[in-house]
Structure 1
């Protein structure tokens, strides 16, 4: 009877422990990231009254006779299952969708938690708002790169409030240079009077574009059938045909008259163009050149009667381009240049068409020193000149810098002339305006200079046996001998769950199960107390035998 009484006592103690665990679970039903516990029982000891015997001499064996001596708590297990996420809308609230733990440092050691209620303290460190422990991860360098992620590289997470200026090194362009665009040349007027000193007559002028780049055919016609054009000493009759070529700037590079299959170079000083009105031997010099000339400023043909034929050249096959870049002090400079079509499938940037705002262009190297050609094949794909350097020295004290201009994304086809600046690296100094956290734990800052930069990454730890972790408070855990070492890395890798910004993980306590367990604990306690009172009554009866 004494055994039954003490067995009942052990049952009372065990069920009291179970009720303690249930009560703690229920009290933490709304604790962020809380993991519930459960109690399991096991038999304490057994007293052997008679051991087992084996069969012998035709008799069967007997089983051992043992009496249990009560119950004890076998284990208090952690339920590490995920709780449901609860949306909060606060960017620094994080939940882990899957396995893993946040890493927090209490100043001496790393602890692990599923509670992602985070905030920044006055020193700028990311901390757990309940404990003040600093969250662990990896900070990015000035370039926004995180080179090593592992347990050995963990550090307190804080955000850089400023972005240092960075000098531009590359500027990229994209778009189309319209290969079908034509420059415009007009002769005005199309008829003038020619006075050869004896006779006066009219000469008409016609101009037509050839298929070749910047080339036109022209025809001069005298009104009298007896008029005679003379070029280079050759009589050509009252109609003269020829060809004129100009470069992209409007300079005449070729001016020839057709002499029945051969050509006469009218730019040569000895090959004047004359007209004998009515063919009486008196002539007026229409053109006399000693080389190339600007067609927009020099009359083409002079009739000698106060009337001239002038050229009016318009450059349409060009594209003005600019690129905004930064020097080492963060000052913005605008690189401006014009690319002009100089031949079929060829566009040229001349040094005279290049400038840099608030800086001195280096004219000894790169784009400032020599013309740069960009060439295309028959399909409009770039074949040469897809990259060129430009060097300049800023006016305000920043060092000389070189920027590589990349034209590799240019095309040449008949269509819109939409070639333009795309993007350049480098930036001015900026101050942090806001930040975001993505599913991998990457914290990206948005700065008032218009740039975004990776600032840090939140670390996540996983364990081979997370249920083996030792509690350090309701939501903090520490490594134990049976949990395994922390496997630290980026969220979403090696079995670690992704992060859910703007959410918190709720407690995983199931109230319905806890209430059911509470009922069984209560009934178990009652039953064990009944065993004690019954044993007491039996002892009382035994004592009363003497009466």
Structure 2
């Protein structure tokens, strides 16, 4: 009877421990990263009343007679399965999808956690909000490289609060220059009603047609209404030829198809009368000029009200503006004019009024005019790079920037040439940060740059259930194995889910069921004690 009473006591103790574990699971149902536990029982030592006997010739064998002495706790196992993920929208929250633990520093010791509610302190160090312990990882260098992911290199994850200014030393250009781009030459007005002293009159008409495939070249025709008119001593009332200018509108060729140069003027005879002298390229005062925009292509000598007035506009040009930075982070706008100077040839001129760099002392220079040439297939074949030099007013030291045109093409179509990449930047202050699925910590700065700053370290164990719990974190034991450190989403480590948290994996339906069975087991064990007590009472009453 005493044995049964003590067996009941062991049942009370064991089911009380089961209730304690169940209560802990239920109380932590909302603890992020919590891993539930379970209790398993084992039978305690049995007392042998009679041992087993072997079968004999005329008698069967007998089994051992044993009385159990109660129940004990066989194990308390941790369930290391993943909990459900909860989206929080908070950039400093992160959850592990799969195997692994966050690595935290507790003084000189490393501990481990699945809780990803992280934050940064005033020194920019990443820490666990639940414990205040510092999160461990690998810091990136200026190029975003980490080196080896090992225990020797792991350390505190610290945000870089500022990015220092870096001077621009290279600008890359790309996209297309229009191979078919042409400058515009148009006749604004023409008043070519002529009359000689003999009473003869006629009206002349000038027309222009751009020549395909030739830069700044136009075919012209000058024709009279009367067939008796003789233009430029050709014996015809119509002449035609070629007009060529440069990119400023200065005439370099004005001659008939027969080779007669018209730039010095020509005569027109109406119906065999007196010759009328026509000037070429004169201003309103009759003075010689070279630029179409400064006067008239042709005019009657002594009467400039009778003229053909033309206007030249340089439209085969592409101005590209780009911001570059000096060593102190000062921003300077570089305006680069690319003008077509011939078929398959474009030029940037140091002397072009539109070529400029603001915020400098002195003038910017390309070392002279720079020509970019293209082959018949539209690919660049000359002038791929040129160096731009200027002295920023702030630093006061000459800065050189390489302008790279290797990616520029020349095909007929849209004029899209522009800069494609500029290095260098102004200084910037940290504005926000985020995590990636591979564990990178990415900072966003006020200068518009993002920079990879660090990578969170994860730890894996051959037996994660062998870890021991201490104040909301896990510690290694002799049965957990040593931690294997590495980055997320590599080598068996789980990936990260930014802006989410891992919820507790405690299953309430299972826990309430366990609570009922623990209660019934405890109740039955207590009934065993009271029944044994009543039997003892009956035994004592035999003497009465």
Q: Specify the SS of the correspondent of 2:138.
A: strand
What is aligned with 1:189? 190
Aligned pair partner of 1:225 in 225, 228, 236: 228
Q: Which residue of 1 aligns with 2:30?
A: 30
Counterpart contact for 1:18–1:521, Cα < 8 Å: yes
Cα deviation 1:464-515 (Å, max 9, x = unaligned): 3221211112x20012222233333333334433333443333222333223
TM superposition shift of 1:154? 1.9
Shift of residue 5, structure 1, vs aligned partner: 4.3
Residues 303 and 482 (structure 1 numbering): CA distance in 2 closer, same or farther, change over 3 Å? same
Contact 1:326 1:427 in 2 (8 A): yes
Determine whether 1:277 maps to 2:269. Answer: yes
1:517 and 2:514 aligned: yes
Verify the 8 A CA contact 1:173 1:410 in the aligned structure 2. no
Measured in 2, the distance between the counterparts of 1:93 and 1:305 equals 88
Cross-structure match for 2:489: 492
CA contact (8 A) 2:297 2:309 kept: yes
Q: Give yes or no for contact 1:345–1:412 (8 Å, CA) kept in 2.
A: no
Query: What are the superposed Cα offsets for residues 245-296 of structure 1, whole Å, 9 maximum, x if unpaired?
Result: 222222333333233xxx34567xxxx654263668978474599xx94343
Structure 1's 257 and 57: CA in aligned 2 closer, same or farther, altered over 3 A? same
Aligned residues: 527
Which region of structure 1 is more displaced relative to structure 2, 9-18 or 322-331? Answer: 9-18
SS at match of 2:218: strand
Contact 2:276 2:300 in 1 (8 A): no
| 1:365-376 to 2 correspondences below 5 Å | 367-375=366-374
Which residue of 2 is the match for residue 478 of structure 1? 475
User: Within 2, Cα distance between the matches of 1:525 and 1:309?
Assistant: 117
Query: Are residues 1:505 and 2:492 paired?
Result: no
8 Å CA contact 2:372–2:384 kept in 1: the answer is no
Shift of 1:163: 1.6
In structure 2, relative to structure 1, the CA distance for the partners of 1:97 and 1:302 (3 Å cut) is same
- Does the 8 Å contact 1:192/1:303 carry over to 2? no
Give 1:167 deviation, angstroms. Answer: 1.9
Quote the residue 2:71 is aligned against.
71
Deviations 1:383-408 (A, max 9, x none): 44584233223232255232333462
Distance between the aligned counterparts of 2:485 and 2:52, measured in 1?
54
TM-score, structure 1 as length reference: 0.83
The alpha carbon displacement at 1:327 in A equals 1.6
- CA pair 117-247 structure 1, distance change in 2 beyond 3 A: same
Q: Residues of 2 paired with 1:512 and 1:467: CA distance?
A: 22
* Structure 1 position 134 matched with structure 2 position 137: no
- Distance in structure 1 (CA, Å) of the matches to 2:410 and 2:213: 20
CA distance in structure 2 between the aligned counterparts of 1:239 and 1:94, rounded to whole angstroms: 85
Q: Which residue of 2 aligns with 1:355?
A: 356
- Counterpart of 1:424 in structure 2 is 422
SS in 2 for 1:99: coil
CA drift of 1:217 comes to 2.0
Quote the residue 1:306 is aligned against: 303
- How far residue 106 of structure 1 moved from its aligned partner, in angstroms, is 1.0
Instruction: Give the structure 2 partner of residue 469 of structure 1.
Output: 467
Q: Give CA deviations for 1:335-354 in whole Å, capped at 9, x if unaligned.
A: 11212223344433233233
- Aligned residues of 1:333 and 1:357 also touching (Cα < 8 A): yes
Structure 2 unpaired stretches of 5+ = 283-288
Q: CA deviation at 1:19?
A: 2.6
CA distance in 2, matches of 1:95, 1:145: 24
Q: CA deviation at 1:141?
A: 2.9
CA distance in 1, matches of 2:313, 2:514: 93
| Candidates 448, 451, 458, aligned match of 2:449 | 451
Q: CA RMSD in A?
A: 3.7
**CA deviation after TM superposition for structure 1 residue 362, in Å:** 5.8
Match for residue 216 of structure 1 among 215, 218, 233? 218
Give the TM-score of the pair, scaled to structure 2: 0.83
1:30-77 deviation digits (Å, cap 9, x = unpaired):
323221111111123234455445555475544444443333221110
Task: Look up the match of 1:240.
Answer: 239
CA distance in 2, matches of 1:220, 1:525: 120
Distance in 2, matches of 1:201 and 1:396, equals 70
SS at match of 1:153: coil
d(CA) in 2 for partners of 1:485 and 1:69?
39
* SS class of match (2:489): coil
Offset of residue 428 of structure 1: 0.8
